[in-house]
Amino acid sequence: MRHIFPLLVILLLAPLANAQSVDESFQDCPGLLIQNQSASEEQIHLQMTDDSSEMTVLWATSTRNMNAIVEYNGSMGVKVADAESYCYGNHNVAFHMATMTGLPIGEEIEYRVGTQDSDMTEWYNFTTIDPSATHFEWISIADHGDSSEGMDVSEAIIADTTAQMVTISGDISYADGEQNAWDNWFNFQQESMTSIPWVTAVGNHENEPGYEFAPYEHRFDSDQQIESETFWYSRNVPGVHMVFMSTEHDFAPGSTQFSWLEQDLSSVNRDVTPFVIVYGHKPMYSSNSYHGSEVELRDSLEAMYVAQGVDLVIAGHDHFYERTWPVSAETVMDTGNDERFSRGQGPIHLVIGIGGRSAYEELDEPQPEWSAYRENNSYGWTRLVYDGDVRELTLTHHRTDGTIGDKFTIQESPSIVESDDSSELGMVGMDSVFAIVALLGAALRKR
């Protein structure tokens, strides 16, 4: 018997070595050491890579299994990809991650996940994103969680059949150390997440007591690496270069993140992606009295965003909705023309922390000049539509009661309006002049 027991231990633990060492397996997720072939798959969700011909899928099971796979099918034929399997901390759930490659662009793909030579899930479908498409729609939220208001937002997203992606500007599940809250949150979103990717920026509530950022690192993927600690990255979609940065890590000049942001923004091809959006959690501009503007963030990054022509900065953290005018150093650069703005005047900042958490209703008074629109007692989401035929981006703030709170458009070309002489057409004159004067003034103040 003394020889049999060590052999049993080796046989039991050998499969675990594929993704984590034996030592790590003893330390993490002790309840998963014994495998069960009948474990059901849950929390299935898609994640974008930086390659349009790829899509990563992650899922969870209640027991450890090292033979997890994804099977997928399209015009390229049937393919199978092995999954990496892993766990974290003392949360006894196994996670699996696999990447589907060689996918045809702009086509529907069917896939299913499970265990090789065993049961597989039902077939799910998604359509690969074609970066050259002339039309693209998606939804942006922040500060979500699983409250009744948050579930109203989730149900609206699930019911949406035209959105091709969801972005979250941090504070995602509000697990705050309770890992079952993550499990429940993913299962509720699964109906949407199996068909479109949800892409995330990290927030302060992803830094969890006893876990720090480990749950976020293991449950979302930005670079197809397990626990990669990659908290800033970018993605290209039709007409838009999207940057996902971290307000929870060092962003000061000279930091790794600052250097990466500088390099990434300076490399954008505006002929291919005319618009640039930066997603982060904490806002540079907020007139909400609970948190307000993150001045340190603004001091570090605003000049870069202005110089690089960032069009939108989308944040959360304060649980209300606010839109600024195009702004630099608290100076309004443009007031638009009937809620229509020409890109290049300065970033418009959005705070969209209305995804489900309790509203922060106290606002700074008087309303700052840079604040174009705000409301403090609603829940909802922002819908974005890129129209490549006219190269413009339209944003609509939807409330969960079915009403619309705000809507505006950013266009690539300058607005054309009638001049004082009605027989002539001209550019938007005074706004452009004011913007130039304001920009020079801001520059002089900084000097």
Burial of 319 (0-12, 13-18, 19+ CB in 10 A): buried
Closest alpha carbon to 253 in 307, 209, 297: 297
* pLDDT of 183: 98
Place 28 in a pLDDT band, splitting at 50, 70 and 90: low
Which of 407 and 224 is assigned the larger pLDDT? 407
Whether residues 31 and 158 share a domain: the answer is: no
**Adjacent-strand bridge partners of 233:** 244
| pLDDT confidence of residue 9 | 34
Confidence of residue 421 (pLDDT cuts 50, 70, 90): very low
Rounded Cα distance, 296 and 70, in Å: 44
- Is the pLDDT at 195 greater than 60? The verdict is yes
Q: What is the pLDDT of residue 297?
A: 98
- Predicted confidence at residue 415, as pLDDT, reads 53
Q: How many CB atoms neighbour CB 399 within 10 A?
A: 18
Same domain, 89 and 161: no
Q: How do beta strands 312-315 and 348-352 pair?
A: parallel
145 and 238 within one domain: yes
Looking at 98, 127, 156, the residue that finishes a domain is 127
Q: What is the pLDDT of residue 229?
A: 75
Q: For residues 414 and 401, is the Cβ–Cβ distance under 8 A? A: no
Residue 79 pLDDT: 97
Cα–Cα distance, 70 to 80 (Å, whole number): 6
pLDDT for residue 39? 65
Q: Indicate if the pLDDT at residue 295 is higher than 80.
A: yes
Helix orientation angle between 295-307 and 256-266, rounded to the nearest 10 degrees? 30
Are 189 and 316 in the same domain?
yes
The candidate with the shortest Cα–Cα distance to 229, out of 256, 205, 192, is 256
pLDDT band at residue 208 under the 50/70/90 scheme? very high
Task: Let me know whether 296 and 312 are in one domain.
Answer: yes
Going from the C-alpha of 398 to that of each of 146, 214, 253, 383, the distances in angstroms are 19, 33, 36, 7
Give mean pLDDT, residues 109-123: 91
Q: Is residue 138 pLDDT above 90, yes or no? A: yes
The pLDDT assigned to 158 comes to 97
The pLDDT of residue 323 is 98
d(C-alpha 68, C-alpha 113), whole Å: 7
Res. 83 pLDDT band, cuts 50 70 90: very high
Instruction: Report which of residues 64 and 10 the model is more confident about.
Output: 64
Neighbours of 304 (CB within 10 A): 16
| Same domain flag for 161 and 117 | no
pLDDT score at 64: 77
Together in a domain, 395 and 435: yes
Asked if 259 and 112 sit in the same domain, the reply is no
Q: Which residue(s) pair with 220 in the sheet? A: none
121 shares a domain with 141: no
Is residue 385 over pLDDT 90?
A: yes
pLDDT, tens digit, 9 for 90 and up, residues 321-366: 999 999 999 999 999 999 999 999 999 999 999 999 999 999 999 9
Last residue in a domain, options 69, 92, 127: 127
Same domain, 156 and 65: no
Rounded to whole angstroms, the Cα distance separating 282 from 270 reads 26
Q: What angle do CA 162, 163, 166 make, to 5 degrees?
A: 165
State the DSSP H helix or E strand holding residue 167, giving kind and residue range, or none if neither. strand 166-169
What is the rounded average pLDDT of the residues 30-59? 83
Residue-by-residue DSSP string for 98-158: EEE-SPPTT-EEEEEEEETTS-B---EEEE---TT-SEEEEEEE-S--SSHHHHHHHHHHH
Do 422 and 276 share a structural domain?
Answer: yes
**Residue 327 to residues 4, 123, 289, 344, 368, Cα–Cα distance (Å):** 72, 47, 20, 11, 12
**Considering only 221-235, 260-274, 309-323, 336-350, which range has the smallest mean pLDDT?**
221-235
Do 199 and 248 lie in one domain? The reply is yes
**How far is 55 from 79, CA to CA, in rounded Å?**
13
Confidence (pTM): 0.88
What is the number of other CB atoms lying within 10 angstroms of the CB of residue 364? 14
Task: With a cut of 70, say whether residue 24 has pLDDT above it.
Answer: no
Looking at the predicted structure, is the pLDDT value of residue 272 above 90? Answer: yes
CATH of the domain at 95: 2.60.40.380
CA nearest 355: which of 140, 194, 71, 184? 140
17 has pLDDT over 60 = no
pLDDT at 310 over 80: yes
> Containing domain of residue 36, as a range?
4-127
Which token pair is 349?
Answer: 């900042």
d(CA 305, CA 327): 11
CATH number for the domain that contains residue 145: 3.60.21.10
Find residue 167's DSSP bridge partners.
140, 199
Number of domains in the chain: 2
Query: Binning pLDDT at 50, 70 and 90, where does residue 31 land?
Result: low
Give pLDDT, residue 266.
98
CA atoms within 13 A on the CB side of 95: 27
Rounded Cα distance, 350 and 142, in Å = 11
Q: Is the pLDDT confidence value at 247 over 80?
A: yes
Which of 105, 127, 149 is the C-terminal boundary of a domain? 127
Evaluate if residue 32 carries a pLDDT over 90. no
Residue 30: the pLDDT is 62
pLDDT for the residue 156: 97
